[in-house]
């Protein structure tokens, strides 16, 4: 059981990489934790370590978020545990390669874990957050949320969804005590980069941000009230221009007439 006097953070994909560092940082901030992934041994070890080092309660929960059963189990948790005040939608994977050579199973796995699960989990937790007028949802997107590159069609598509979902949720909870932050990391030195698929990309090690630096920057962005945090972007105006261009283009599209260039002469 978590402690009702302490806030609880639910972190998906907590068995390694970015999720495991979020677990450490949120434990240091006094959160109890519910740690979700498939690898029970990793979750158990992390929970034991964080309980000992931070004096919090940490509960592992094994769930496969590529399955309807796994998503439904986490939804039920989010709907029933009133101590939950933070959801970190972090679990994700990337099969690299041209979409034409990808298997249907790989395609579906990415859609389920990277897109369906975070969307459904945000949906599941929001009513309780709205009822209490408090809560934080952190959605881990990617720099690929703003631009894909070849070999990442499906992955980048799922991450574009994360940004779009976050934008809309932010508008929907504006004026409430609920926070929604989208974090868009660039290449970060996690186990993702140890897979044969990623090794083929031959990205030099020095181009990878450390996982700790990435998560600490993302939490700093949250503390500063940012809605979208791109930890590796030095000039915030780069983001502001992108955001403004999207808003301007959307406004320009609100037009009942086709543009003159498409009208018959
Ligand atoms: P990672 O170390 O491989 O961690 C991925 C996590 O997702 C693991 O905990 C894994 O746990 C979990 N996961 C994968 N499939 C799952 C499933 N079917 N059900 C439940 N959990 C599942 O990689 P990471 O870099 O930390 O990735 C975390 C997030 O950061 C992802 O959303 C990723 O897209 C994003 N991101 C990473 C980078 C980067 O360069 N590393 C850049 C931008 C965005 P189990 O295997 O134990 O289930």
Mind listing the pLDDT tens digit for each residue in 113-123? 999 999 999 99
Catalytic residue among 22, 155, 161, 262: 155
Residue 152: partners with Cβ closer than 8 Å, 6 or more residues away: 94, 96, 144
Of all protein residues, whose CA lies closest to atom 48 belonging to ligand 1?
38
Phi and psi, residue 259, nearest 5°: -60, 150
Residue 19: CB within 6 Å of ligand 1? yes
Pairwise CA distance, residues 68 & 16, whole Å: 22
The answer to whether the pTM exceeds 0.85 is yes
pLDDT at 4: 58
Inform me whether the pLDDT recorded for 80 exceeds 60: yes
Pairwise CA distance, residues 88 & 18, whole Å: 10
CA 122 to ligand 1 centroid distance, Å = 17
> pLDDT category, 197, cuts 50, 70, 90?
confident
pLDDT at 31: 98
pLDDT at 196: 86
| Residue in this structure with the two tokens 């979208």, named with its chain if needed | 228
- Least reliable range by pLDDT among 1-5, 14-18, 260-264: 1-5
Any catalytic annotation for residue 262?
no
CA 115 to ligand 1 centroid distance, Å = 13
Residue 163: CB within 6 Å of ligand 1? no
Do 89 and 180 contact (CB within 8 A), yes or no?
Answer: no
- Pick from 147, 144, 143, 155: nearest CA to 99: 155
- The separation between the first and the last C-alpha atoms of the chain, rounded to the nearest angstrom, is 71
Residue 214: CB within 6 Å of ligand 1? no
> pLDDT category, 3, cuts 50, 70, 90?
low
pLDDT at 195: 87
CA 226 to ligand 1 centroid distance, Å = 23
CA 218 to ligand 1 centroid distance, Å = 16
Inform me whether the pLDDT recorded for 27 exceeds 60: yes
Residue 145: CB within 6 Å of ligand 1? no
**Checking DSSP bridges between strand 58-62 and strand 32-37, what pairing results, if any?**
parallel
| The ligand 1 atom nearest the CA atom of 191 | 2
């Amino acid at each position: 059981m978590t402690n009702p006097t302490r806030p609880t953070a639910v972190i998906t994909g907590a068995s390694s990489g970015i999720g495991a560092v979020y677990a450490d940082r949120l434990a240091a901030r006094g959160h109890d934790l519910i740690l979700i992934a498939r690898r029970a041994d990793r979750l158990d070890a992390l929970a034991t370590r964080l309980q000992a080092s931070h004096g919090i309660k940490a509960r592992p929960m094994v769930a496969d978020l590529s399955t309807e059963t796994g998503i439904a189990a986490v939804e039920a948790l989010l709907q029933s545990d009133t101590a939950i005040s933070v959801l970190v939608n972090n679990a994700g994977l990337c099969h690299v390669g041209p979409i034409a050579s990808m298997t249907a199973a790989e395609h579906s796995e990415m859609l389920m874990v990277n897109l369906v699960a975070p969307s459904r989990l945000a949906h599941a937790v929001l009513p309780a957050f709205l009822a209490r007028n408090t809560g934080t949802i952190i959605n881990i997107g990617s720099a690929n949320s703003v631009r894909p590159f070849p070999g990442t069609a499906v992955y980048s598509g799922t991450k574009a969804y994360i940004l779009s979902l976050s934008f809309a949720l932010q508008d929907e909870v504006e004026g409430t005590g609920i926070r929604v932050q989208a974090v868009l990391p660039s290449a970060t030195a996690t186990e993702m980069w140890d897979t044969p698929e990623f090794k083929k990309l031959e990205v030099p090690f020095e181009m990878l941000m450390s996982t700790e630096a990435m998560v600490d920057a993302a939490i700093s962005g949250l503390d500063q009230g940012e809605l979208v945090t791109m930890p590796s972007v030095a000039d915030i105006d780069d983001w502001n221009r992108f955001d403004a261009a999207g808003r301007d283009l959307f406004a320009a599209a609100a037009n009942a007439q086709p543009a003159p260039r498409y009208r018959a002469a």
